[in-house]
Structure 1
Amino acid sequence: MSDRQYEACYTFEAKGTPQGTKRKRADPVGLHASWKRRRTLFEQVWSSQKQKIEEVLSTINASTLQDLLNYLNARPEGARRNRLPTGLVLSGSASATYGSVFARLSSLVASFPDKIYIPVKAATATNLKGFLKCLITSATNNDSSNADGSDDEKSGLGRKGPRLLNYDLQNLSEYVQKNGINQVVVVFQDSEAFDTNLLAEVIKIFGCWIDRIPFVCLFGIATSIDNLQQRLPRAAVRCLDGQLFNTVRADEVLEQVFRAAHSFDTQLWFGSGLWNTMLERQRNHLGGIDAFTDALLYASMSHFFANSLTLFLSEGLSFKDVPNDHFEAVRNLGSFQTHVRRLLDSGKAQLVHSLLHSNTSLFDYSMKQLTSERHRMRSLTQCAVIIHTLRSRLAITPATSYSAIQCGALAGTLRDSPLLRILMATIKRCPSNVLEDLLAHVQPLVPDSQAVDFSAIVDDIQTLRKADISGAPFRSTLDTPSMALHTTMMAQKVTLSKSKPAILPRDAAYSDIVQRFHDLLAGHFTQTLIDPRSLFLNEVFFYDLKSPYREVFMPKPRAAIERALSNPADYLGCSCCGASGQSSDGKENDDVTLAPSHPSTAIMYQLYVQSGALINVADLWSAFNAVSSGGEDMDEDGERMNMALFQRALAELRYMGLIKPTRKKADCVAKVLWKGL
């Protein structure tokens, strides 16, 4: 190795025959034996769900995309008036979602050989020269290695004559004329990120070259058009000939994706707690819809990969495909134990005995009950759709989103909620024209067993309407005032009297029809709106764990780092660090005790927490050396080792951003963060 001591690395080759490798068990056992089948099932379920989401995303902003394409194909007339044709794509809070609009527009424009699509990012265009270089390079498909400005001259794209600078738009003009380009579409996807002065200069230059280069600009606006107009100088605004294009709002995009993910034919339902966490995170953070899709994917993976009992969701599952350990896991489920108690209370002791001692009976009974319980979950989802449809048709305020109603149904709180009580009270007062509209929208959503009753209500309304010649809508007795006020004048005296208004026979008959409709809906809601956690084997098809999702998508790294440095025993699990944060009787104590057995970075952090805004490095070293040595005198080698640990711990604190050098005192470091703040 002496000849390799100056090399950066070397390969170590062991002499002698290698030892034989230990044979590993190829096939998993126990609850992991169903892993391959569960993985295949997950891929099938997620591929179906992903396809539905992609179909929804492909239809979102379809009209806006078509309008943009028509705008480009119509050859905007702004250039004839020496003004720059500009499309203003207004997204509002959905700024993270309109990237898909421009991406799809790019693929559509690529099919036209006479158009060039050039997306420009603010990070790559920091100044005018760099912007023009990137623009010309992207348009002519040349190498952008000189985009950093190292060489201001290049051959003018094979032209004859003097060489042009690589940021001269004459290069692009000659390229456009040579290749017959009719449009150069320049896209500023995030216009707010560009420097105002740079944007104004670019618009002015494009306006000067509009007679030689057919520029068309597209601006993605996340704030408002007024804000863009106020940012730009008047000279730049006068160069623009703009047309507005609106995109779908972020809330609507999220609701449509939620509908696609929470479909009726799914095999896995998420609980209200998990849905509310994902929806709240998506609304509070300006992230694209891809982040929401990734959260759905991770939640599905967490359920299928961690829960071995999802094997029972497989289609065509036979008894021999289920290992014996899975039946024991079923018998330990909380829903199974609750169901067994119900069977015992109803006098079915023989069935309970077979379920506890026979795997075959448990398999047959579980598969049959899973089919029934999943059907009840589909009915629950469909019932929430009926409630949302009724509230939308009745225009009940305040409006409640589809996702909020579905989450209330999954939580089991919708049946006794004020939202449902207000809906049922409003139905009793609706006139006949409104009731007919409700029946037309609700009848396709109710089960087939109740469709006959709703059809009978429609027939009764039609019969009542044929018998009436006035043609006016029928009104329920609850929609008419209970008392009428009459004014009588006799001998220059005014007398007020009250009386009940006369109820027409048609209104009385219509009131009975409304009451029947109300009772049918109330019975259906009472029967269908159940708590999913009360269903048998709900742990198989119902997932509502928030902790894995929060740890991945909403992590708290600072809290974890502070905890690890304050109480290293929580992560190391060793007995030597167990005294940290505990008193003599084993109870938690806020005053953490420093010990030589703690990691050097943990010791340094505790000294850091107890220090002020400026920390003297010499004093810090003295305290660190005293703690590390345990108060004992150390030899020169021990002190040298402590110094190395001290320097490494100090460097790690700086790497984590806890300290920084200061110019006030050369021998001190500044404290950047305080614990808990």
Structure 2
Amino acid sequence: MSTSSVSKGCFVFKPSAKKKKTQSLEDYFVSGCEGAENSETRFRLCQDLWDKIKENTEVLQEELNRKILDSLLDFTKKCSSTPSHSNWAAQMRASEIPTAALVLGVNVPDHDMTFQSLSDLLQQSVSPYVASVQAKECGALKHLMKRVLERLMDTVVTVDDDEEEENEPISTQLHKSVHCSLGTLCDWYSAKTKKSNSGTPGKKRSSSDGDDPQQPPVVIIFKDLEVFNPRVLQDFILICSRYIQRLPLMFIFGIATSPSTIQNMLPHSVSSLLCIELFQSLSCTQHLATVIDKLILTHHFPFKLNGKVMQVLISIFLYHDFSVRNFIKGVQLALLEHFHSQPLSVLCCRKKEALLNVMQLSPGDLERIRQLPSFQRYVEKQEPEEQENLSTDDTHLKEVCKTLIKDLRKYHKNYYPVLRCLHTLATSLPRYPLGKQIRELHLICLEKNVWENEDYQSSMKLLKMLAKDELINLLQRCLEILQPVKSKQMEDARVQLEELLVKFKQLDTAAAEAQPCVEESIISPVKNLGKKTDLFQLQKTLLEMNETRRSKKLSPFELLRNEALELIDSLVKSHLSPPESLTLNEVCYYSSSATVRRHLNATPRTSIQAALSSPYYYLQNTSLKTEDGSVSNAAPDICIAYKLHLECGRLINLYDWLEAYATVVSAAEGNNPDSDNFGKVDEVKHARFIRAVSELEFLGFIKSTKQKTDHVARLTWGGC
């Protein structure tokens, strides 16, 4: 651009507006992805698989929450009825506010989803006037009142406080605002209901009391009751009770711990103003068991987690948050990491698509298959000629891979039904030797051969002690598990189970005929014990009884019972081998438990200590790079103070610490060590030191102590 002008002037040229290029999700996935030649296909497979898992998860969660949500809907409809239409409403005092105490459990991250579903259902079928509030935004009564009115009336609400008005943005102040009081809400509600009633054609008003019997309630949801300020909650309830005749209020308390929280927070004079009904949601452990059963223990999803990754996710659930939502996010993280880091994950898809992708594998992918540990074990078991073909012939390798992929699908199709059968049998035993939850048995099977486990062997011994009715019921349940499975092995097992059940039902007459003979053989030696005998004769008789028991023929029931348990044992040994023993298991199984633990179970203290000990790796400044692992004297002040505090004991003298810091800083400034000013503390160094110490105290490395006024206590041990 150029300008021509006789006079001097200043010309401003605006830069051309170039839109900033934003990367798509696929670009982020491909960036740094190993095996980029098929990264697009892997991204598509990953996204499709996650969409399917997410859809099934949402449907499952809706089914699990349906019972509690339906109960809450019935409660709100019952409360909104007039006394002439509801006996429950007639029993409630005029000044009482109907309240639902919803006990959701300590899995707080999952509560938002439940409350969102509840709010949507209430707005659709009960009342359009629903407001949800949280404790963090309601520190004072005026804040709580303001949030409630704003969310119900969908307008700007002002409070009688100059500071509040000053803090509001100009755009907010320009809009029409209303006064913050329940009287304003009553007037607004009355106008709204009149308008809706008058605007509804063909709707007749009640002539008895002049009020509309179908007035929708005003529902206020307190998501986290325990965190609310008790005084704020008490004042709000007292105010609401004064307006209950004009405004059909209704409360829903979200409780994470115990219903006794209401009594602990509210005195009797306030709690007596509430007509409370308790609702208990499904426990988070049952929720997790259902999610694992429907999403993990199924052959419909080709992506799998190995034992260590599964154990990490379950441990985070049990020992940190009890959040099923976070557990599913962990599965999503493992899914994304698997498809991003494993080029052969292109085969982790449906059977038909996987067989097509095998034929499109590049020479690099085929070489990766040859390097897989499971494939190398497979090659070692083959004949020398076959080993040579697998190592050199790519076409032959693809055909073998297609067969191995089919075998992997067959394994998963047979694994889960047999696992459920074994779990059904094991949970009927006392003390649950193989675990109470099916996920515990699944982890055992992922780790090693379950039939080599001592608990499995003891379980089989205990199953031989079951009564006939108990055993028949368990076998019938196993038959129901195998019934829908379309597999040749499972069909054969199903036929054998059906034959055994038929034989069990035909045992009654045969057992009745064989019983007298058995009793006679057992009791006959006992008859001699009634006679007078010596010690030698008694010992001889007891030995004869023992030999009789050993040589006793097994009854028909015992023969059938042993045959049934042998069938179960053969199914276990045939189909419950660990997945690591399968060839190409790396295609479907994600095994990097360290990555999952690092992302989901972060250790901020370790990261902070590593940053303070090695600032070069974080700041990338060459002057901070050291060879022996020590901190450079040119490092930030907090790094120098941290390194010096590691050399002290439990109590640190602040003056000595300051002098050591001043010496290190003087060396960094290039001062002559022999000069008088070297290591001298001036105001600047003093201020820098105080700031570094304050930062260390904020991070939790030191704390002030009353033992010595000029000392601080150290809260760490050793280095990073």
TM range (shorter): 0.7 to 0.9
Match of 1:6 in 2: none
Tell whether the 8 Å contact from 1:596 to 1:630 is kept in structure 2 after alignment.
no
Matched, 1:137 2:150: yes
Tell whether the 8 Å contact from 1:133 to 1:147 is kept in structure 2 after alignment.
no
1:218 pairs, out of 242, 252, 255, with 252
| 1:436–1:396 CA distance, 2 compared to 1 (3 A) | farther
1:349-373 CA deviation, whole Å, 9 max, x = no partner?
1111111001111111112112202
Tell whether the 8 Å contact from 2:132 to 2:220 is kept in structure 1 after alignment.
yes
Matched, 1:561 2:608: yes
Match of 1:450 in 2: 493
User: Per the alignment, in what secondary structure is the counterpart of residue 179 of structure 2?
Assistant: coil
Q: Structure 1 residues 441-450 or 549-558, which shifts more? A: 441-450
Matched, 1:117 2:165: no
1:233-277 CA deviation, whole Å, 9 max, x = no partner?
111122121111110111111111112221222212111111111
Matched, 1:54 2:96: no
User: Per the alignment, in what secondary structure is the counterpart of residue 236 of structure 2?
Assistant: helix
The separation in 2 between residues aligned to 1:482 and 1:46, in whole angstroms, is 67
1:35 pairs, out of 39, 43, 49, with 39
The separation in 2 between residues aligned to 1:418 and 1:661, in whole angstroms, is 51
User: Per the alignment, in what secondary structure is the counterpart of residue 213 of structure 1?
Assistant: coil
2:506 pairs, out of 440, 463, 468, with 463
Shift of 1:79: 4.7
- Which residue type is aligned with residue 601 of structure 2? M
The separation in 2 between residues aligned to 1:123 and 1:30, in whole angstroms, is 44
Matched, 1:286 2:321: yes
Tell whether the 8 Å contact from 2:358 to 2:401 is kept in structure 1 after alignment.
no
1:367-418 CA deviation, whole Å, 9 max, x = no partner?
2112202322343333222222223355654751121111111112522224
- Which residue type is aligned with residue 228 of structure 2? F
The separation in 2 between residues aligned to 1:98 and 1:425, in whole angstroms, is 45
Match of 2:219 in 1: 185
Shift of 1:81: 4.1
Tell whether the 8 Å contact from 2:106 to 2:256 is kept in structure 1 after alignment.
yes
2:360 pairs, out of 321, 330, 333, with 321
After superposition, residues 487-502 of structure 1 pair within 5 angstroms as none
Match of 1:231 in 2: 265
2:375 pairs, out of 327, 330, 336, with 336
The separation in 1 between residues aligned to 2:313 and 2:505, in whole angstroms, is 46
Match of 2:339 in 1: 304
| 1:507–1:246 CA distance, 2 compared to 1 (3 A) | farther
- Which residue type is aligned with residue 88 of structure 1? A
User: Per the alignment, in what secondary structure is the counterpart of residue 60 of structure 1?
Assistant: helix
Q: Structure 1 residues 188-197 or 394-403, which shifts more? A: 394-403
The separation in 1 between residues aligned to 2:162 and 2:512, in whole angstroms, is 85
1:478-508 CA deviation, whole Å, 9 max, x = no partner?
xxx99998898789x9x999768999x9981
1:610 pairs, out of 639, 642, 647, with 647
Tell whether the 8 Å contact from 2:102 to 2:280 is kept in structure 1 after alignment.
yes
1:582-632 CA deviation, whole Å, 9 max, x = no partner?
xxxxxxxxxx4x544766654343234335545348625522224425674
After superposition, residues 187-206 of structure 1 pair within 5 angstroms as 187-206=221-240
The separation in 2 between residues aligned to 1:80 and 1:548, in whole angstroms, is 58
After superposition, residues 400-419 of structure 1 pair within 5 angstroms as 400-419=436-455
Matched, 1:102 2:137: no
Match of 1:580 in 2: 628
Tell whether the 8 Å contact from 1:276 to 1:407 is kept in structure 2 after alignment.
yes
Match of 1:67 in 2: 71
Q: Which residues of structure 1 form unaligned runs of 5+?
A: 1-9, 15-25, 154-162, 582-591
1:183-225 CA deviation, whole Å, 9 max, x = no partner?
1111112111112222222222222222221111111222222
TM-score (norm 2): 0.75
Shift of 1:228: 2.4
Matched, 1:536 2:557: no
Match of 2:7 in 1: none
| 1:595–1:201 CA distance, 2 compared to 1 (3 A) | closer
Q: Which residues of structure 2 form unaligned runs of 5+?
A: 1-11, 17-29, 80-87, 167-175, 194-214, 483-489
Shift of 1:647: 7.5
Matched, 1:251 2:288: no
Tell whether the 8 Å contact from 1:196 to 1:231 is kept in structure 2 after alignment.
yes
Match of 2:565 in 1: 518
1:109-143 CA deviation, whole Å, 9 max, x = no partner?
11247452111211122222222222222221112
User: Per the alignment, in what secondary structure is the counterpart of residue 436 of structure 2?
Assistant: coil
Tell whether the 8 Å contact from 1:130 to 1:148 is kept in structure 2 after alignment.
no
TM-score (norm 1): 0.80
| 1:502–1:619 CA distance, 2 compared to 1 (3 A) | closer
Match of 1:261 in 2: 295
| 1:27–1:65 CA distance, 2 compared to 1 (3 A) | closer
The separation in 2 between residues aligned to 1:485 and 1:96, in whole angstroms, is 68
Shift of 1:668: 8.8
Shift of 1:553: 0.9
Match of 1:440 in 2: 476
Q: Structure 1 residues 101-110 or 649-658, which shifts more? A: 649-658
After superposition, residues 352-501 of structure 1 pair within 5 angstroms as 352-393=387-428, 397=432, 400-446=436-482, 447-465=490-508
Tell whether the 8 Å contact from 2:346 to 2:357 is kept in structure 1 after alignment.
no
User: Per the alignment, in what secondary structure is the counterpart of residue 415 of structure 1?
Assistant: helix
| 1:381–1:406 CA distance, 2 compared to 1 (3 A) | same
- Which residue type is aligned with residue 607 of structure 1? L
User: Per the alignment, in what secondary structure is the counterpart of residue 465 of structure 2?
Assistant: coil
Match of 2:597 in 1: 550
The separation in 2 between residues aligned to 1:89 and 1:232, in whole angstroms, is 16
Matched, 1:45 2:82: no
Equivalenced residues, count: 618
Name the one with the larger helix percent: 2
User: Per the alignment, in what secondary structure is the counterpart of residue 606 of structure 1?
Assistant: helix
The separation in 2 between residues aligned to 1:336 and 1:233, in whole angstroms, is 70
The separation in 2 between residues aligned to 1:506 and 1:210, in whole angstroms, is 81
The separation in 2 between residues aligned to 1:626 and 1:457, in whole angstroms, is 89
| 1:310–1:397 CA distance, 2 compared to 1 (3 A) | closer
Shift of 1:535: 1.4
| 1:548–1:416 CA distance, 2 compared to 1 (3 A) | same
Amino-acid identity (%): 19
After superposition, residues 587-666 of structure 1 pair within 5 angstroms as 592=630, 595-596=632-633, 602-610=639-647, 613=652, 615-616=654-655, 619=659, 621-629=661-669, 632=672, 654=694, 657-658=698-699
2:100 pairs, out of 87, 94, 105, with 87
The separation in 1 between residues aligned to 2:455 and 2:13, in whole angstroms, is 72
Superposition RMSD in Å: 4.3
The separation in 2 between residues aligned to 1:457 and 1:516, in whole angstroms, is 8
- Which residue type is aligned with residue 558 of structure 2? S
Tell whether the 8 Å contact from 1:569 to 1:580 is kept in structure 2 after alignment.
no
